[in-house]
Structure formats: C-alpha cells, structure tokens
Amino acid sequence: MFNLESPLPNTTTRHEQISRVVVTAQQMRDIEARIFAGGMPVAALMEKVAGLIARRIIELYPRSHFPCIGILVGPGHNGGDALVVARELHFQGYDIVVCCPFSKLKDLTAQNAQYVKSLGIPVYEALEPLAKCAVFVDGLFGFGLERSLASPVDRIVDQLNEWSQPVVSIDLPSGIHTDTGEVLETAVQATQTFCLGLWKIGLLQDQALDYVGQAELIDFDIPIADIQAVLESPKIQRITPQSAIATLPLKRSPVTHKYKQGHLLLICGSRRYTGGAILTGLGARASGVGMLSIAVPESIKPLLSAQLPEALIVGCPETASGAIAQLQLPEKTDLRSFDAIACGPGLTVDAKPILQEVMNSDRPLILDADGLNILAQMGTIPTLQRRQAPTVLTPHAGEFKRLFPDTVDPTSDRIAAVRAAAAQSGAVVLLKGARTAIADIDYVWINPESTPALARGGSGDVLTGLLGGLIAQATTKHIPLLEIVASAAWWHSQAGILAARDRTEMGVDAFTLTQYLISVMRSN
C-alpha cells in the first residue's frame, strides 16, 4: 500500500506521491495550519499559488485569443488568490475586469483589492459589466463551503452559467461541497478547475463532475512532513498511471509455464444471455492468465468454444430456463483446482444454487451482475461474514443499493458508501461509476479518469473477466488484493479512453473494448 515514507522504487517523484493523496476539508485546514504555524506567511503562499495559476491561465488562454479576463472575487483567501491572479494577468497585458459582490473582505483579500483598484482595474458588484470578457476566473469560494450560495452570489453564478465563455475555478467550483461533491443548490460550471495543493475528495465524487470540467493539481510544495503529521497513512488515494502499472504487466519468470500463471474459473452465461459469458471470457483473455476455464450451460458451449478456442469450456446441466443447474467440472477437478473464481455475468438468478456452492469455497471470488443479485437475496452481510476467503464485489449504484440497503446512499457520497460497505462486509468493494471507488476495510482507491463510452451493456462483464484473470495470477505473486483490483479498474477505463479517442464515445461497444485492453499496456 502506498506510503509517503516509502515511495515506489526508483521512479516515484514527490509530485507522483502528492498527486495520489486525497483530503477532506478538515484535513486540508489542518495541513495549512501546520504550514502557517511553521512560519510560512499567508501572503507569501497566496503570491506563490496565484503565480502558478496565472502561469497556467496564460498557457491555456493566450492573450492573442482571450484579451479580456473577468475575475470573480469572494470574501476569503480564495478571493485573495483571484485578485493576485488579476494583478499578474494585468501586468502581462490582459484587460482585466473584476466582479466582487461582497462589501466585507478578509484583511489580506481587502489589501489586494485595494491594490487592484490602484492599478486602474475596474471593480464592479454586478456581473453584467463583465459580459464581453473572453474567459472568467472563479475565485468566489474555495474548500470548506458547506452552505448554499446566498443572494446576490447565487444569481451571479446562474448568470455566469448561462454564458458560453470558459470558466477557470480556483480550488473547487464555487457552490460545490468539498467532501461530498454535492451541488449546494447552484454552483459554477467550470471549464477548468485548478485544485490547490492536494486533491479534495469532492472533486472525485460523481455528482460534481458536470461542474468540475478538466481538473488539474496546482502543487505549491506542501512539505511531506506536514501531510504525514495530519494523515499518518493516507486512507483515500487516487489511482495514478504509475501506481497502476507498478504491478502491470504481472512479472513472469523466463522458465515459467501456464500452470504457474494462474488458473481462473469463470461461471457465467445462460441461454438467454450468451454475450455476458463471451465478453467476460475475452476480458480474462486480455489479462494474460495462464489457464482459463469457463463453466456455462451445455447449450451455449459451442458458441463459447468458437470465440475462445484457447479456453476450456465446461458445459453444465441447465434448468428449463437455460441457466446453469449444476456445476459439472472435469474429472479430478473441484473448486480448489483454481486460483480464483469469477461468477455472475449473464448467469440469471435461476442459478442461485451455483452461487451458494462457490460462496463455500476457499478460493478468491469475484461477484458481478447476477452474482450480486443472488447475494442480495441471500443476505449480503451475514453471507459474506461466514465466508473465509477473499471476496470482491463489483456493483453499480443500483446493485449496491440492493446489496447494502442500510448504508450510505452511493449517489450522495460514494466514497463514504464504499467505505461503509467494505467495513460491514469484509469484502473488497468496487463501486462502478464515472469515478470508480474501490475499498477494503482500511483504504479507498479512486480511479480519477474514465469515459462515458463505458456506459454500454457488457462493459462491466469485460471488467469482471480482466479482474478475475489478474487476481488468479496475483495469488502466486503475493500482491495485495486491493492493489490488483485498483489496477484492473484503471486498465479497464484506460482501454475505454483509448477506444473513444479512435472511435468516438458512441463507437465503443464492449467487444471493441476488449480489443483495446492490450493497447493500454503498449502505451504505458
């Protein structure tokens, strides 16, 4: 697990470490308090941060194309940052116009406001005089906002959102709750968000994403010691490319053979849902797992054999509805013969006895789709508490609510929800979404990149197969389960991103997605 004191070998930079840390509003307050208690002048830090922001604005919005910039100023230090940005852009030749609807400002912000006025930069209380600006900087409120925007600020934000000019938000879009990502009645819809110092958890919540735009971290050199003093060991982390590929591709000895590279059993498919079994198998194939067995109803065995000739397709007796009625593994084979089992895609709830059987096994188990639906029927918490081996659950929000009806609503705070579910069940829980969150009883990993292209039937089946194949291989390599699950989620989303770039978001069906999984490894 990532530790600020023990970076990944050789290539992990300070910026890589910092980019993985995620904080709440209170944790950020505590870290900043240590910085200021150590002697860093507030004014000096404001100058440094604003200088970095101004530099990025100049790079993204050159004066030749964006000659006039509007600055929205709040009463606190976020507004002070915005005023310093205004001054620096003024000195670079931009026409600057300021909107500050507040009569009372913090002392340092008021000083910067006075200096801006002395430079001849116009300052208005209303937004209308800024209508001709080519781009806006939102410095109304930073981290820690917990109440709705009051009048007239709410009207200014609504008016800004009706205009078409790009908006750069400092730290968070004004009106977004720092921790939950909730929109506090109204919020700035930013084009870019420059998160200051450390990633705020609200920026990684699904409900904030329509307001955040393109987010990037402005690293202003927070001392590692101050982060460690507050966080000790970071409990919430962003998955970065470097952290994901630290274990990918899984290392192989030159003298290895297929039986040393993991044996995965997939239990999936039905006469009604053949595609789920095929897509899960193709996801597993891309993982590089040494041996792949797929248990399906006898009637669809020929279809699987045609698509996955290298896999051992196990035809099983089926119910009248075409679901697997009974596992019928090859002679001298039982569930202990496999390094991992993945169960659920296309299975239908008629296969409940199958899930009861695999729940009693001592193998690592991945449950998805109907595997999750059956688990919910059985009683999630008591069933998992009786299980001795590792379990990974991969629900979307609807499945999550069925599995954990008494925990936090994942649509209101998915980070809190996934942490509570993992703590209650003892499982590793992967909550799918635009920002997939993965938790065990100690840690949460958040995948900060994805694409709407993955919002298509079958994408989750591909993830289940990929994840199962990686876990089957990892059991012999002593890699922590949570890290493998996080790497699989990152790999899956990156394949979607690459496919969408080539084929547009509308062109990434689940079968196409499987073809881009290997491309991710080539590009990294």
pLDDT at residue 6 greater than cutoff 60? no
Q: Tens digits of per-residue pLDDT, 255-284?
A: 676 666 799 999 999 999 999 999 999 999
pLDDT at residue 524 greater than cutoff 90? no
Q: What is the mean pLDDT of residues 214-241?
A: 92
pLDDT at 100: 98
**Comparing 481 with 8, which gets the higher pLDDT?**
481
Question: Angle of helix 42-60 relative to helix 107-118, nearest 10 degrees?
Answer: 50
305 known member of a binding site = no
346 known member of a binding site = yes
CB half-sphere exposure, 478, CA atoms < 13 A: 0
The amino acid that residue 124 corresponds to is Y
145 known member of a binding site = yes
pLDDT at 252: 66
15 known member of a binding site = no
269 known member of a binding site = no
The tokens describing 445, both together, are 């990993």
460 known member of a binding site = yes
409 known member of a binding site = no
pLDDT at 171: 98
197 known member of a binding site = no
pLDDT at 254: 74
Task: Indicate if 243-523 has the same CATH topology as 14-236.
Answer: no
432 known member of a binding site = yes
143 known member of a binding site = yes
Helix ranges (H only) for 61-204 are 77-91, 107-118, 153-162
pLDDT at residue 5 greater than cutoff 50? no
Q: Per-residue DSSP letters for 386-400? A: H--S-EEE---HHHH
Instruction: Note the CATH architecture for domain 14-236.
Output: 3-Layer(aba) Sandwich (3.40)
> Shortest CA distance to 31 belongs to which of 223, 233, 237?
223
pLDDT at 247: 80
78 known member of a binding site = yes
CA distance readout (Å), 247 to 193, 262, 288, 413: 31, 15, 13, 29
Question: For residue 95, what is the DSSP state?
Answer: E
The tokens describing 3, both together, are 């530790």
pLDDT at residue 161 greater than cutoff 50? yes
The ranges assigned to domains in the chain are 14-236, 243-523
407 known member of a binding site = no
148 known member of a binding site = yes
pLDDT at residue 444 greater than cutoff 90? yes
pLDDT at residue 146 greater than cutoff 60? yes
pLDDT at 479: 85
pLDDT at 151: 93
pLDDT at residue 15 greater than cutoff 90? no
433 known member of a binding site = yes
238 known member of a binding site = no
Q: Per-residue DSSP letters for 200-242? A: EGGGGSGGGHHHH-EEEEE-----HHHHHHHHSS-SEEE--HH
pLDDT at 9: 38
Paired strand residues for 22: 199
514 known member of a binding site = no
pLDDT at 261: 77
pLDDT at 234: 73
The radius of gyration computed from the CA coordinates of the chain, to the nearest angstrom, equals 26
Q: What is the mean pLDDT of residues 27-55?
A: 97
pLDDT at residue 1 greater than cutoff 50? no
Q: Point out the least confidently predicted range of 242-246, 283-287, 422-426, 461-465.
A: 242-246
Instruction: Note the CATH architecture for domain 243-523.
Output: 3-Layer(aba) Sandwich (3.40)
CA angle 44-125-164, nearest 5°?
Answer: 90
Q: What is the mean pLDDT of residues 213-226?
A: 95
| C-alpha–C-alpha distance, residues 121 and 297, integer Å | 74
322 known member of a binding site = no
pLDDT at 259: 66
Global pTM? Answer: 0.93
Q: What is the mean pLDDT of residues 418-427?
A: 96
| C-alpha–C-alpha distance, residues 264 and 148, integer Å | 51
| C-alpha–C-alpha distance, residues 227 and 230, integer Å | 5
